[in-house]
Amino acid sequence: MALAFRLDASSGVPTYRQLADQVRRALLLGYLQDGDQLPPVRDVATALVVNPNTVAKAYRDLERAGLVKPRAGQGTFVTGSVGPVPAATYTQLSASLRRWVRSARGAGLDGEQVRALVAAVLDDEQVGGAVA
């Protein structure tokens, strides 16, 4: 599976930004690597029921950031990977975070509260980064 975009219309974040952020995230985590192809604009647009221009805008932003490069008639390709997390580290950290999430839900917190707690802790721990 090339990349599964997800949109949250109620988040207030512009669609094109959600898309671009998800690609950035995939790069940061090593899901996407140098040379990989992004799904064609039209495919994403029809899959998400979104205007092709909106997807194109996201891709264009990524291009301006130097992360991908369009090749006319061929598609859009990742141009540089951004210090991906080693697989083992990634597996271990995501597993332990998953456990934490489940314990939180087990303690009775709903989705909103989990996100609120996470946001509060990340802010407090000075975890910067625009990709939220």
Partner DNA sequence: GTGGTCTAGACCACC
Partner DNA sequence: GTGGTCTAGACCACG
Interacting residue with DNA among 2, 3, 17, 109 (CB under 7 A): 17
Pairing of strands 75-78, 68-71: antiparallel
CA–CA dist 88, 86 (Å, integer) = 6
Asked whether position 47 contacts a copy of itself by CB under 8 A, the answer is: no
**C-beta of residue 52 within 8 angstroms of C-beta of residue 106:** no
**C-beta of residue 5 within 8 angstroms of C-beta of residue 50:** no
CA–CA dist 81, 31 (Å, integer) = 10
* CB of 49 or CB of 107, closer to DNA: 49
Site for a copy of itself in 63-122 (CB under 8 A): 64, 83, 85, 89-90, 93-94, 96-98, 100-104, 107-122
Asked whether position 123 contacts a copy of itself by CB under 8 A, the answer is: yes
Interacting residues toward a copy of itself by CB under 8 A: 6, 8, 10-14, 17, 24-25, 28-29, 61, 64, 83, 85, 89-90, 93-94, 96-98, 100-104, 107-132
